[in-house]
Amino acid sequence: MEMAERVRVTVGPRGLLEVEFSGFCGEDCLEEERQLRARLEQMGLSMRVTRRTMKDEEQIAAETDRSGSHGRVPVDY
């Protein structure tokens, strides 16, 4: 069974965001990141990626039956 695509955003006390993309196939997580950035900019917020950690095959397999790259993207604005 495939896991639904989801984006989890955690805001730290200093405004640092940690964004986790789960259930995306291939480069879809990076496209979702671009869309999130565009939505934030429409609200007058900007974000920059300070670190991107791509999930390994084992992590991907644990959350979805599809193969591809998924990432956790901590950002600040």
pTM value is 0.65
3-state DSSP percent of the chain in helix, strand and coil, to 5: 30, 30, 45
Residue 70: pLDDT band with limits 50, 70, 90: very low
First to last CA, the chain: 36
Residue 53 has pLDDT above 60, yes or no: yes
Q: Reduce the DSSP state of residue 34 to 3 states and report it.
A: helix
Residue 26: pLDDT band with limits 50, 70, 90: confident
Q: What are the tokens at 38? A: 């565009």
Instruction: Mention every residue, 6+ apart, whose C-beta is less than 8 A from residue 49.
Output: 33, 73, 74, 75
Distance CA 51, CA 29 (A): 15
Which range among 3-17, 38-52, 57-71 shows the weakest confidence by mean pLDDT?
57-71
Residue 12 has pLDDT above 60, yes or no: yes
